[in-house]
Structure 1
Amino acid sequence: MAGRIYSIDSMRIIAMAFIVSIHTDLLRGVGEYGTPINFVIDSSARFAVPFFFVTAGYFFALKTTRRDPIAYFAERAVSIASLYAFGLVLTVPVFLAGSVVREGADRREIPGLIARRTAEFVSPIDLLYYGNSVSEILWFLPALIFSLGLICLISKANMTELLLPIAFGFHGIGLLGASYTMFVDIPFEVRDALFFGFFYSSLGYYIYSADWQPDADRSTLYLGATVLFGALHIAERYVLGYALTGETITQSVYTASYTIATVLVTISLFAFLLSRPNLGKSTPLPSWGNYAVGIYIAHPSVLFVLERAGEALTEMGYEIENTLLWHLVLTPGTFFGALLVYIAVRKLRAIEKGKARLSNVKPVRDRYSK
Structure 2
Amino acid sequence: MADRVRSLDAMRIVAVVFVVLIHTDPLQGVGAAGNAVNFGIKTTARFAVPFFFVTSGYFFAVKTTDRDPRAYLTRRAVTIGSLYAFGLALAAPAFLGGRVASDAADGRSLGSAVAARAAEFLDPVELLYYGTSVSEVLWFLPALLVALALVAGFAAVGAPRAALPAAVPFHVVGLLGTSYAPLVGVPFEVRDGLFFGFFYVSLGYAIARRGWRPAPERSGTLLALVGGFAALQFAEFALLGYLLRGAAFGSYVFAPSYGVATAGLTLSVFLFLLSRPSLGADTPLPSWGAYAVGIYVTHPVVLAAVRGVRDALAASGHETGAAVFWHLGATPSVLLGALGLYLLAHRLRIVEIGGTHFPGAPLLRSR
Give unpaired runs (5+ residues) of structure 1.
Answer: none
Per the alignment, in what secondary structure is the counterpart of residue 242 of structure 2? helix
Alignment partners' CA distance in 2, 1:211 and 1:156:
20
Alignment partners' CA distance in 1, 2:208 and 2:362:
38
Which range moves more in the overlay, 279-288 or 301-310? 301-310
**Which residue is equivalent to 1:225?**
225
Per the alignment, in what secondary structure is the counterpart of residue 178 of structure 1? coil
**Which residue is equivalent to 1:277?**
277
| 1:359 counterpart letter in structure 2 | G
Matched, 1:152 2:152: yes
Alignment partners' CA distance in 1, 2:349 and 2:11:
26
CA contact (8 A) 2:33 2:250 kept: yes
**Which residue is equivalent to 1:177?**
177
CA contact (8 A) 1:35 1:253 kept: yes
- RMSD across aligned C-alpha pairs, in angstroms? 2.1
Shift of 1:357: 3.2
Per the alignment, in what secondary structure is the counterpart of residue 351 of structure 1? coil
Shift of 1:252: 2.6
Shift of 1:354: 3.0
Shift of 1:360: 4.5
Shift of 1:33: 1.8
1:258-287 CA-partner distances (Å, limit 9, x unpaired): 111101111110010000000111100000
**Which residue is equivalent to 2:359?**
358
Alignment partners' CA distance in 1, 2:302 and 2:320:
18
Identity of aligned residues (%): 51
Alignment partners' CA distance in 1, 2:263 and 2:358:
35
Shift of 1:101: 4.3
**Which residue is equivalent to 2:165?**
165
Matches within 5 A, 1:1-370: 1-103=1-103, 109-320=109-320, 323-352=323-352, 353-360=354-361
CA contact (8 A) 2:100 2:117 kept: no
Per the alignment, in what secondary structure is the counterpart of residue 187 of structure 2? coil
Shift of 1:35: 1.2
1:97-120 CA-partner distances (Å, limit 9, x unpaired): 3234445569x9444432221111
Which range moves more in the overlay, 353-362 or 294-303? 353-362
1:326-363 CA-partner distances (Å, limit 9, x unpaired): 22111110011000000011112222233213225767
Q: Are the structure 2 counterparts of residues 197 and 363 from structure 1 closer, same or farther at C-alpha, using a change threshold of 3 Å?
A: closer
Shift of 1:288: 0.2
CA contact (8 A) 2:73 2:152 kept: yes
1:237-271 CA-partner distances (Å, limit 9, x unpaired): 10111111112333333223111110111111001
Alignment partners' CA distance in 1, 2:361 and 2:80:
18
Alignment partners' CA distance in 2, 1:286 and 1:109:
50
Alignment partners' CA distance in 1, 2:285 and 2:230:
23
CA contact (8 A) 2:130 2:139 kept: yes
Q: Are the structure 2 counterparts of residues 60 and 362 from structure 1 closer, same or farther at C-alpha, using a change threshold of 3 Å?
A: closer
CA contact (8 A) 2:310 2:322 kept: no
Q: Are the structure 2 counterparts of residues 280 and 103 from structure 1 closer, same or farther at C-alpha, using a change threshold of 3 Å?
A: same
Shift of 1:320: 4.4
Alignment partners' CA distance in 2, 1:89 and 1:9:
27
| 1:340 counterpart letter in structure 2 | G
CA contact (8 A) 1:57 1:203 kept: yes
Alignment partners' CA distance in 1, 2:322 and 2:309:
14
Which range moves more in the overlay, 308-317 or 52-61? 308-317
Shift of 1:165: 0.9
Alignment partners' CA distance in 1, 2:73 and 2:233:
33
Q: Give the number of equivalent residue pairs.
A: 365
Per the alignment, in what secondary structure is the counterpart of residue 281 of structure 2? coil
Q: Are the structure 2 counterparts of residues 101 and 316 from structure 1 closer, same or farther at C-alpha, using a change threshold of 3 Å?
A: farther
CA contact (8 A) 1:348 1:361 kept: no
Alignment partners' CA distance in 2, 1:300 and 1:187:
28
| 2:192 counterpart letter in structure 1 | D
| 2:290 counterpart letter in structure 1 | N
Q: Are the structure 2 counterparts of residues 360 and 210 from structure 1 closer, same or farther at C-alpha, using a change threshold of 3 Å?
A: closer
Give unpaired runs (5+ residues) of structure 2.
Answer: none
CA contact (8 A) 1:27 1:324 kept: no
Which range moves more in the overlay, 21-30 or 124-133? 21-30
Which range moves more in the overlay, 81-90 or 324-333? 324-333
Shift of 1:200: 0.3
Alignment partners' CA distance in 1, 2:181 and 2:110:
41
CA contact (8 A) 2:178 2:257 kept: yes
1:184-233 CA-partner distances (Å, limit 9, x unpaired): 23111111111100000000000000111111111111111101111111
Alignment partners' CA distance in 2, 1:304 and 1:136:
13
Q: Are the structure 2 counterparts of residues 104 and 318 from structure 1 closer, same or farther at C-alpha, using a change threshold of 3 Å?
A: farther
